[in-house]
Amino acid sequence: MATGPKMYDALWAAIRGLPEGSEFVVNAIEAYDLEKVTDNDLRSRGYSENIAKEVSSSLFNGDLRPLGKIGRVRLTKSHEVPRLLSD
C-alpha cells in the first residue's frame, strides 16, 4: 500500500490533461490509500485550508467526488481496473 501523498500524486498525474467532465476509474484498493491524504498534505500542494479540510475529510470517508470536482473529472472506483502504482 502506498502513502496517501504518493497515491494522490499518482492520481493527479493520471488525470492531468483529461478533458473536463471525463470519468477516471481508480483501482478500489488504491482508493483506500487516498483515504490517508490529510489536510496538511493538500495544503502543501497549494489548497486553501477550507478546501483541504473538505477534500481530506471526504477522502477519509471514501468519497472521491470533491477531489474529482477540483480535477474537473468524475472519479469512480472499481476492482476491475489496473493499479496506478506497482507494489
Give the Cα separation of 22 and 19 in Å (integer).
6
DSSP string, 13-75: HHHTTPPTT-EEEEEHHHHHHHTT--HHHHHTTT--HHHHHHHHHHHHTT--HHHHHHHTSEE
Tell me what pLDDT residue 87 has: 62
- What pLDDT is recorded for position 56? 97
User: Whole-angstrom Cα distance, residue 55 to residue 52?
Assistant: 5
pTM of the prediction? Answer: 0.91
Structure confidence at residue 43 (pLDDT): 97
> Which pLDDT score is estimated for 1?
79
Mean pLDDT by groups of 10 residues along the chain of 87 residues: 93 95 97 96 96 97 96 96 89
